Amino acid sequence: PKKEIVEVTFVKANGERIKVKGKEGDSLLDIVVNNSVDLDGYGACEGTLTCSTCHLIFKKEDFDRLPDKATDEELDMLDLAYDLADTSRLGCQIIMRKDLSGLEVRVPATVNDARS
């Protein structure tokens, strides 16, 4: 079956909104990379769960409908992220589905590369 196009808006700390497209099955990290979205330091470990730079903050209603709950590995890595919120997740662990299209996520002002 053909993969559906999904839309995601990244809202930067300075208020800038970046709306991009991806496909079902892409992670939010894939979508940032494939669209060359200019987010400082984002996705430094390329989705291997060792950096926390892909930290994103979701709206509560979106957070609650994300298909996969965070694994212990993700939670450990999130602990190292700056500006942690109750609705924080790591973008490399969020796989887009059709019903998540239109998602709006907040990009924290600063990132912490846990590898350094």
Question: What are the residues binding ligand FES (CB under 6 A)?
Answer: 29, 43-45, 47, 49-54, 77, 90, 92
**Smallest distance, ligand FES to C-beta of residue 31, A:** 12
CA-to-CA distance for 75 and 89, rounded, in angstroms? 8
- Note the residue count of the chain: 116
Judge whether 21 and 6 are in contact, CB under 8 Å.
yes
Tokens of 71: 């694994």
Looking at the Cβ atoms of 42 and 100, the one nearer to ligand FES is: 42
**Smallest distance, ligand FES to C-beta of residue 5, A:** 23
Looking at the Cβ atoms of 79 and 99, the one nearer to ligand FES is: 79
33, containing H or E segment = helix 28-34
Looking at the Cβ atoms of 4 and 49, the one nearer to ligand FES is: 49
**Smallest distance, ligand FES to C-beta of residue 30, A:** 10
**Smallest distance, ligand FES to C-beta of residue 35, A:** 16
Strands (E), the chain: 5-11, 17-23, 55-58, 88-90, 103-106
